[in-house]
Amino acid sequence: MSLRVAYIVLAHRLPRQLARLIGQLSDDESAFFIHLDGSSDRRNGYDLRRAVVEALADIGAGTGIGAGAETGAANVVLLERHACYWGNFEIVEATLEGIRAIVQSGQKFDRVVLLSGQDYPIKPRSQIKSYLARHPGTEFIETFLLTAPNRWTEHRGPYNAVARVKRRHLHFRSRTLTLPWERAFLPGVLPYGGSQWWALSMDCIRHIWQYVQTQRKFVAYFRSTFIPDELFFHTIVGNSAFADRVSGHDLTFADWSQPAPPFPAIVDQTYLRALSGSPKLFARKFDSDRDPGVLDLIDRNLLQESSVRPMAAV
């Protein structure tokens, strides 16, 4: 199945787990645009970029990853780094770095998929590509109108759907101050939100890139929203000609039902049955420091090409 896929991966730790993710998804038609959190070296106590380069070199043989000057992988690009803090606009900027690099690369990708460095496939690579190829006109992104009843409507404080966009949020690294006054939203634009993760067509990606180049007031407005990575791209797509092509959901399994942090829940070996029965293509959030064996189980039980089963609709 011929399908050129560009993966934007946002990572801040676990370099060997990141390399393993790339190794599982890599083939001659795929490329990876990796953003490494610019604040991660201070937080982790080591040079994340160097650790990622070393990890990629270790898994290069037999994965379809070729030789490259910096990363040891011809299909891996390390993006300009932004210091990212949860809830802040820098995560949007990190994603835009990937979009910029993809658009300006001149390569003819069919699909762009946004993942985190703690994601992992739960379907074989061939099945992922086959599913995406069968839905060339679908934009896999969750979008819901923030001013209509939605899953954030009853949330309190800055997490409330309308408060996320209509109140001004001032960010100081990992701290956020929410001002109590509502402001007018952008004229002629409806606010949308949803899960951060998506898989969009290349035409949609080009539209997003052109939009952010010309709509400076839009970009400036979202700098003071709350968790803009769950708002920014959704609002652009929801107000575009691509809105009729939106699936309304993403392709990533996550468990938000746990009563205590971390959110979403860390996916460990107890989730294997749930992952096996899920129609999703990817899952998160994995942590090889906490459960080093879960990815081995997924490799053996879910990612063997010989065990591929017909996929249910996502």
Q: What is the pLDDT of residues 20-51, one digit of tens each?
A: 999 999 999 999 999 999 998 888 888 999 99
In whole angstroms, give the CA distance from residue 142 to residue 151.
12
Give the pLDDT band (50/70/90) at residue 170: confident
**Which residues in 10-45 are b (16+ Cβ under 10 Å) and which e?**
bbbbbbebbbbbbbbbbeebbbbbbbbbbbbbeeee
Q: Does residue 312 have a pLDDT over 80?
A: no
For residue 96, report the phi and psi dihedrals to the nearest 5 degrees: -65, -30
Q: Which of 182, 193, 196 is nearest to 92 (CA)?
A: 196
Give the pLDDT band (50/70/90) at residue 63: very low
Q: What is the pTM of this model?
A: 0.93
Please compute Rg for the chain using Cα positions. Answer: 19
Q: What is the mean pLDDT of the chain?
A: 91
Please give the CATH number for the structural domain made up of 5-134+251-307. 3.90.550
- pLDDT score recorded for residue 67: 36
Pure H helices in the chain: 15-25, 40-44, 48-59, 90-105, 125-134, 161-166, 202-214, 216-222, 232-238, 272-277, 294-301
Q: Are 32 and 116 in contact (CB under 8 A)?
A: no
Q: Are 22 and 16 in contact (CB under 8 A)?
A: no
In whole angstroms, give the CA distance from residue 205 to residue 193.
17
- pLDDT score recorded for residue 176: 83
- pLDDT score recorded for residue 288: 95
Give the pLDDT band (50/70/90) at residue 65: very low
Which letter does DSSP use for residue 246 in this model?
B
**Which residues in 223-256 are b (16+ Cβ under 10 Å) and which e?**
bbbbbbbbbbbbbbbbbbebeebbbebbbbbbee
Give the pLDDT band (50/70/90) at residue 154: very high
- pLDDT score recorded for residue 69: 42
Q: Are 130 and 2 in contact (CB under 8 A)?
A: no
- pLDDT score recorded for residue 1: 64
**Tens of pLDDT, residues 98-144:** 999 999 999 999 999 999 999 999 999 999 999 999 999 999 999 99
Q: Does residue 75 have a pLDDT over 50?
A: yes
- pLDDT score recorded for residue 311: 53
**Tens of pLDDT, residues 190-236:** 999 999 999 999 999 999 999 999 999 999 999 999 999 999 999 99
Is residue 150 classed exposed, middle or buried when 0-12, 13-18 and 19+ CB atoms within 10 A define those classes? middle
Q: Which of 140, 137, 143 is nearest to 203 (CA)?
A: 137
Q: Does residue 64 have a pLDDT over 60?
A: no
